[in-house]
Amino acid sequence: MKTHQPLTQQEVQRFAALAARLAENVNSVVLGKPQVVRLALTALFAQGHVLLEDVPGVGKTTLARAIAATVTGEWRRIQFTPDLLPSDVSGVTIFNQATRGFEFHPGPVFANIVIADEINRASPKTQSALLEVMEERTVTVDGVRHPVPQPFLVVATQNPVEMDGTYRLPEAQLDRFLVKLSVGYPDEAVEVEVLRGATLRSPEALPAVTDTATIAELIGMAQRVHIAEPLYAYAVRLAAATRNHAHVRVGVSPRGVIALTRAACAYALIDGRGWIMPEDLKTLAGPVFAHRLLLSSDAQVRGVNAAEVLRQAIASVPVPLPSGQTVPARA
């Protein structure tokens, strides 16, 4: 249970106003995808990481670069390729002949925002180099732990696993991502607008809206959002419904439940509320839970996908009411 000082209305309004400015900045180059941008910012404020999976050319890297450009801080981009080594990500210890000692040379993961482009084109060994830093915000090289800058956000892009030259991310690493998002194709009007200004819109041209110190402050505010007691139980029951589903081999872990409540706190603040509602949990269950489900072999043969299973699981859990009663959920 949270014991933080409750948020004041002034703090809530300040958070929502700054989040709106950040979203407007990113939306100026990522056209027609306001909900995707909002969910990405939710992950930033919830101290989580973002996985963007979609076909090439729909703006995954543009979204990642736009978020990095909007925040004044250090950011690095890592292009994952089959020959990339773990030390190319985390860094390496080199012997310095002048000082007669070993010196650590940090890799590109030492930044506030790390863009891991096409992460599933690298070997599983290199992919696993991100596991420790994504969870603990430290990198261990030759037995020595090195903390990364704070705040720390990994925005990874990946192509669908059915495409050539891709390696499926291990389940342990997928679980480290707070949300998994799909940008999707734009509608006709937006695509025409993109064509009109294709050479004018660039993430590098975006003005920085805030700095890392302010982002760290907003992250702290998100941790103070009020969660009513029935909503803790509701979040746990949503996860339990995935574990008990006939088409699920491995359901959502307790880490996934924690991720859902953290994301809901940030999502509510973006909406200008200092408390979360059941609708926040239901809205975020898809991006937070879907990539954590392992479907049974029978479900895969039948063509059942995780989104469909999740809709059924959510529909089976009664929604709590302020009075303490419950009403059946609707898919």
Q: For residue 2, what pLDDT is reported?
A: 47
Task: Report the pLDDT value the prediction gives residue 331, as an integer from 0 to 100.
Answer: 43
Q: Residues spanned by CATH 1.10.8.80 within the chain? A: 225-320
Start-to-end C-alpha separation, the chain: 29
Supply the pLDDT for residue 1: 44
269 close to 19: Cβ distance less than 8 angstroms: yes
Q: What is the pLDDT along the chain (331 residues), one digit of tens a residue?
A: 445 688 899 999 999 999 999 999 999 888 888 999 999 999 999 999 999 988 777 788 888 888 888 988 888 999 998 899 989 999 988 888 888 888 889 999 999 989 998 888 888 888 888 888 888 899 988 888 999 998 899 999 888 766 666 777 878 888 889 999 988 888 888 888 877 775 556 787 888 899 999 999 999 999 999 999 999 999 999 999 999 888 888 889 999 999 999 999 999 999 999 999 999 999 999 999 989 988 888 877 787 888 888 898 899 999 987 765 566 555 4
Give me 277's structure tokens.
């509602």
Numbered ranges of CATH 3.40.50.300 in the chain: 8-224
Cis peptide before 124 (omega within 30 of 0): no
Residues paired with 76 in a beta bridge: 114
**String of b and e for 72-88 (b: at least 16 CB within 10 Å)?**
bbebbbbebeeebebeb
pTM over 0.85: yes
Rounded-to-integer distance, Cα 134 and Cα 153, Å: 8
- Fold of domain 8-224: Rossmann fold (3.40.50)
Question: Amino acid identity of 72?
Answer: T
Rounded-to-integer distance, Cα 254 and Cα 261, Å: 11
**The CATH fold of domain 225-320:** Helicase, Ruva Protein; domain 3 (1.10.8)
Please give the Cα distance from 258 to 235 (Å, whole number): 9
